Amino acid sequence: MAPQQSLNVFKQPLKLFSQQPMTGFYRDGYCRTSPQDPGNHAVAGIVTDEFLDFSASRGNDLRSVGLKGGCRWCLCTARWFEAVKAHQAGKVSNMGVPRVDLEATEDSALSMVNMETFRKFAAQGGGQPGGSGGSGSGAA
C-alpha cells in the first residue's frame, strides 16, 4: 500500500503503477517522491520507442535499465514535460509523449505540469478517478 502522504493528481491515494519492471524512485512500484528525489519521478508513464529515443538523445538512455516500448516507468516530471514541448514544436510525434496513468501520477507533478496537459496525454481510461486499468508491465 502507498504511504499515507502520497496522493495522485486527483488528491486520492496513489495507485500502484508497476512491479514489472519495478519502478519508482524507491523501487516499490509507486511514482512517489520526496526531497531526496531531485528528479521528481512522479509521472506514471507508459513509454514508447520514440520517447526512449528522445530520452536517450537528452542523455538518459532508459533502455540501459531494460525498458522497451510499452513498459510502465515512473518518469522525471521535467523530462516528460520536455517531451510534451518537443511534440508541440514538431520535434517528436504525438507518440513521443508517454501516456500517463493519472491515478498513479503523484500530485507533486502538478507543480510543473497543469492538469489539462496531463489529461491530453492520459492513458486510455486514466483521465478520471477509477477509470484506468490495473498495474503490471503494460507491454503492448
Residue 108 lies in a domain: yes
SS (H, E, C) 30-50: CECCCCCCCCCCCEEEECCHH
Is position 13 within any domain?
Answer: yes
Domain residues for the domain of 60 are 1-125
Number of separate domains in the chain: 1
- Does residue 137 form part of some domain? no
Q: CATH number of the domain that 114 lies in?
A: 3.30.56.110
Domain annotation covers residue 26:
yes
Taking the CA atoms of the chain, what radius of gyration do you get in angstroms? 13
Q: What is the pLDDT of residue 5?
A: 80
What pLDDT is recorded for position 78? 96
DSSP one-letter string for 64-118: GGT--TT-EEEE-HHHHHHHHHHHHTTSS-GGGS-EE-GGGBBGGGGGTS-HHHH
pTM for this structure?
0.87
- Using CA of residue 91, residue 52, residue 38, residue 115, what is the dihedral sign? positive
Per-residue pLDDT of the chain (140 residues; tens, 9 = 90+): 444 589 999 999 999 999 999 999 999 999 999 999 999 999 999 999 999 999 999 999 999 999 999 999 999 999 999 999 999 999 999 999 999 999 999 999 999 999 999 999 999 865 444 443 333 333 22
> What is the pLDDT, as a whole number, of residue 135?
34
Q: Specify the pLDDT at position 125.
A: 62
